[in-house]
Amino acid sequence: MKQDSLEMERSLEKLKEILHRCVKCGRCRAVCPVFTALGSEPAAARGKLALLEAWLRAGRRLRGRRLQEVLSLCLLCGRCTANCPNGAGAKEAVELARSIMAAQGGLAWTKTLLSCFSSLHREARDPWLKAAGFFQRLVMRELPMERGLVLRLSATELGELWAPKIKPPFFLERHAQKLGKGPIRVALFAGCTIHYLAPEVGQATLGVLDRMGFEVLIPGGQGCCGLMAMGMGDKPRAARLARKVVEDFAMEEIEAVVVPCASCAFQLSRGIPQILNDDPMGPRARLLAAKVKELSVFLLEQQALSLLPKNQGASHRGTVAYHDPCHLALGMGIREEPRKILKGLRSRSFRELDSPDECCGMGGTFRVFHPDAAASISWRRLQSLRKAKVNEVVTGCMGCWMGLKEMLHRGSEEIRVRHLGELVWEELEKEKRAGTQQGG
């Protein structure tokens, strides 16, 4: 109990510090996707900060439906933080405020349920999802089922839109604990979306790592990174999930933890060490964080480009654009690595979008609570993809992967959404085939 109130004090202090740094210049109005979509001040980072400041100055506890609503108007994309001339950190303020509200008992019920569900261990969770797959259309409408992923799906279902098929067996069930044998050992953190919805991305990633000669460990019991719980302000749960990640992955014999999803990579390398800062597991969390490699960074560091075929095969597959995930570009400053890889592919030509730095509108559960704003944000993204006339759009974040798929479905576009790992794998496979043909 005492620990909790201490924690609360600290969060409040941190929040106040951020609020103090904001001078209300208004620059964040120019970069905030939610503000652009809604055009009203409470949607901008500045509005949220001003409101929080007014609450705290009035000596009040953070609560109330309207405050919650205003705080929910955030994708946690980090554009405000990245562009604030004072380094005020509005995104972090929203996170802190959400966690303070949650701790004071103000989490909205849907969010609470969602958060509970994501913290169940995988074994406990899977039957739910299998059932969900079975009853997908039916169940989801009745019961916004409360894992981040499921909530996202339910949102897409509600609008009669594209919904990915949950098809057991799931990725981690199919793949052995260990793959290959090599001098360098790495671990793979799959993340929820790959596990439940996009096993092909996991398989492609594994394929690439294997071809590159790594020994890959895939801890079978691995769970959720906790980013979603964190984003909803459920810090205790996020901390529990974080400890589980550390337990599963902080192994000495591993040289890197490869993460094919940008959001998970952000959480593992930045979020978890912060959440567990004062935890006894803190030091291990930091060690783990230092080993975390987002897939594109890892591939580039390990010279994956040199393995790719050199000459352009007959089967040119058209043009490809890259969609920057917020957590990668803004959260970790990684923009060049994925582009370098895409430009290194012989089977595709790379085309830059005219406004590379735009959000897909997914933003954790943002889309669930603000479908119209999310639609308007993704519409802008769709426009730039259309303008670029590409065949495929590649991203490295499974949240964006879903967001883009849904958006393209809505726009009846022929553009395919791919994961970076898939393209690299395709290219390697092609090389192999070409090799065997030549040999034979």
Partner 1 sequence: MGKEDRFLDGKTCKELKRILGPHQLKLDWETRVCYGYDATNQLFVPHAVCFPEDTSQVSRILELASAKRIPVVPRGAGSGFTGGALPVQGGLVLSTERMNRILSISQEDLVAVVQPGVVTGVFQKVVSGMGLFYPPDPASQDFSTLGGNVAECAGGMRALKYGVTRDYVLGLEVVLPTGSIVRTGGRTVKNVVGYDLTRLMVGSEGTLGIITEITLKLIPLPEARRTVLVFFPSIKTASLAVTKIFSQGVLPSAMELVDRACLDCVAQSKPVRFPAETAAMLLVEVDGSRLSVEEQAAKVAHVCHGLGSLELQVSQDEAQAESLWSMRKAISPALARIRPHRLNEDVVVPRSLLPEAMERFSKIGEQWGVPVTAFGHAGDGNIHVNVLYDRSDPQEAQRAEKAAEAVMRATVELGGSLSGEHGIGTTKARFLSLEIHPQALELMCAIKTLLDPKGILNPGKIFPQRGKGAPA
Amino acid at 77: C
The residue assigned the tokens 């791919």 is 418
* Shortest Å distance, C-beta 359 to ligand FAD: 23
Residue nearer to partner 1 on the CB measure, 79 or 125: 79
Count of residues that interact with partner 1, criterion CB under 8 A: 29
Q: In the numeric block, which tokens belong to residue 188?
A: 């793979």
76 binds ligand SF4 (CB under 6 A): yes
Which residues from 30-89 bind partner 1, rule CB under 8 A? Answer: 30, 39-42, 47, 50-51, 53-54, 57-58, 64, 66-67, 70, 84-87
Number of CB atoms found within 10 A of residue 302's CB = 20
Output the smallest distance, CB 83 to ligand FAD, in A. Answer: 12
- Pairing verdict, β 292-294 and 214-217: unpaired
51 contact choice in ligand SF4, partner 1, ligand FAD, none (CB below 5 to 8 Å, kind-dependent): partner 1
Tell me which of ligand SF4, partner 1, ligand FAD, none is bound by residue 58, counting a contact when its beta carbon lies within the kind-specific cut-off of 5 to 8 angstroms. partner 1
Q: What is the CA radius of gyration of the chain?
A: 21
For β-strands 256-259 and 416-419, DSSP reports them as unpaired
Residue nearest to ligand FAD (CB): 25
If binding is defined by CB under 6 A, does position 389 make contact with ligand SF4?
no
Applying CB under 6 A, which of residues 52, 62, 70, 75 lies at the interface with ligand SF4? 75
Q: Which does 54 bind (CB under 5 to 8 A by kind): partner 1, ligand SF4, ligand FAD, none?
A: partner 1
The item of ligand SF4, partner 1, ligand FAD, none sharing an interface with residue 64, based on CB under 5 to 8 Å by kind, is partner 1
- The CB-of-343 to partner 1 minimum distance in angstroms stands at 18
Distance (Å, rounded) from C-alpha 157 to C-alpha 168? 19
b or e along 152-163 (b: 16 or more beta carbons within 10 Å of the residue's beta carbon)? bbbbbbeeeeeb
Closest Cα partner for 158 from 184, 136, 130? Answer: 136
Taking the least distance from each CB to partner 1, the nearer of 40 and 104 is 40
Residue 70, contacted partner among ligand SF4, ligand FAD, partner 1, none, CB below 5-8 A by kind? partner 1
Find out whether 140 and 150 touch, Cβ atoms under 8 Å.
yes
For ligand SF4, the closer CB: 38 or 285: 38
Q: Please, which residue, 24 or 387, has the CB nearer to ligand FAD?
A: 24
- Measured in Å, how far apart are the chain's first and last C-alpha atoms? 71
Evaluated on CA atoms 197, 200, 203, 204, the torsion sign reads negative
Q: Quick one: which of 272, 287, 269, 265 has its CA closest to 239?
A: 272
87-91: long-range contacts, CB 8 A cutoff, minimum separation 24: 87/21, 88/18, 88/21, 88/22, 88/49, 89/18, 89/21, 90/18, 90/22, 90/28, 90/45, 90/46, 90/48, 90/49, 91/45
| SS3 state of residue 164 | coil
What is the DSSP secondary structure assignment for residue 161, as one 8-state letter? Answer: -
Does residue 11 contact residue 96 with C-beta atoms inside 8 Å? yes
In the complex, least distance from residue 24 CB atom to ligand FAD, rounded to whole angstroms? 8
87-116 positions binding partner 1, by CB under 8 A? 87
Of the candidates 115, 56, 63, 52, the residue with the CA atom closest to the CA atom of residue 89: 52
- DSSP, res 440: -
Q: E strands along 278-409, which residues?
A: 292-294, 319-322, 349-350, 392-395
- Choose the binding region for ligand SF4 from 52-60, 85-93, 141-149, 156-164 (rule: CB under 6 A): 85-93
Please, what is the minimum distance in Å from the beta carbon of residue 299 to ligand FAD? 40
Binding-site partner at residue 74 among ligand SF4, ligand FAD, partner 1, none, CB < 5 to 8 Å by type? ligand SF4
Q: Residues 19-38: x/- map of binding to partner 1 (CB under 8 A)? A: -xxxxxxxx-xx--------
68 or 267: CB nearest partner 1 = 68
Give the whole-angstrom CA distance, residue 22 versus residue 29.
Answer: 13
- Report in angstroms how near the CB of residue 89 gets to partner 1 at its nearest: 12
Q: Which spans of this chain sit near ligand FAD (rule: CB under 6 A)?
A: 25-26
Query: Judged by CB under 6 A, which of 15, 19, 27, 107 binds ligand SF4?
Result: 27
Query: Least distance to partner 1 from the beta carbon of 87, Å?
Result: 6
Scanning residues 28 to 57, which ones bind ligand SF4 (CB under 6 A)? Answer: 28, 31-34, 45-46, 49
Residue 41 interaction partner, one of partner 1, ligand SF4, ligand FAD, none, beta carbon < 5-8 Å per kind: partner 1
Contact residues toward partner 1 (CB under 8 A) are 20-27, 29-30, 39-42, 47, 50-51, 53-54, 57-58, 64, 66-67, 70, 84-87
